[in-house]
Amino acid sequence: MESMKNILLAGLLAAGIAVPAAAQVGNVYIHDPSTIVMSDGKYFTFGTGSGGLMSEDGWTWTDGAVRPGGGVAPDVVKIGDRYLVAYSAGYPGTEGKTRGVVTTMWTKSLDPESPDFGFSDPQLVAWAGDDEDCWAIDPAFLLDPTTGRLWCSYGTYFGAIRIVELDPATGKRVEGNEAVDIAIDCEATALMYKDGWYYLLGTHGTCCDGTNSTYNIVCGRSRSVTGPYLDNMGRDMLEGGGRMVLSAGDRATGPGHFGLYVEDEGVEKMSFHYEADFNRSGRSVLAVRSLLWKNGWPVAADPFKEGTFEIESERRGYSLELAVSFVRLQGAMMRGFGRNSDGPVVVIEDQKLEDVVEGWPEGDIDIRVGDYMFRPHQRWTVTAVPDAGGYLGAPYYKIVIAGTERALAATSDAELTAVPKFTGAPEQLWRIEQLTDGTFRIMPKSVPGHEGEQFAIVCTGDSTAALGKYDFNSDNSKWNFRDR
State how far the Cα of 104 lies from the Cα of 76, in Å rounded to an integer: 9
455: left (phi over 0), alpha (psi -120 to 50) or beta: beta
pLDDT per residue, tens digit, the chain (484 aa), is 334 444 344 444 333 334 444 568 999 999 999 999 999 999 999 999 888 999 999 999 999 999 999 899 999 999 999 999 999 986 544 444 558 899 999 999 999 999 999 999 999 999 988 778 899 999 999 999 999 999 999 999 989 999 999 999 999 999 999 999 999 999 999 999 999 999 999 999 999 999 999 999 999 999 999 999 999 999 999 999 999 999 999 999 999 999 999 999 999 999 999 999 999 999 999 999 999 999 999 999 999 999 999 999 999 899 999 999 999 887 666 665 666 666 777 888 899 999 999 999 999 999 999 999 999 999 999 999 998 999 999 999 999 999 999 999 999 999 999 999 999 999 999 999 999 999 999 999 999 999 889 999 999 887 889 999 999 999 999 999 999 8
pTM for the whole structure: 0.91
Q: How many CA atoms lie within 13 A of 117 on its CB side?
A: 13
Contact 163, 173 (CB under 8 A): no
64 C-beta neighbours (distance < 10 Å), count: 17
How many other CB atoms are found less than 10 A from the CB of residue 462? 12
- Sign of the Cα torsion 200, 201, 206, 209 reads negative
Domains and CATH numbers, the chain: 17-300 (2.115.10.20), 307-326+349-482 (2.80.10.50)
Torsion angles phi and psi, residue 337, rounded to 5:
-100, -5
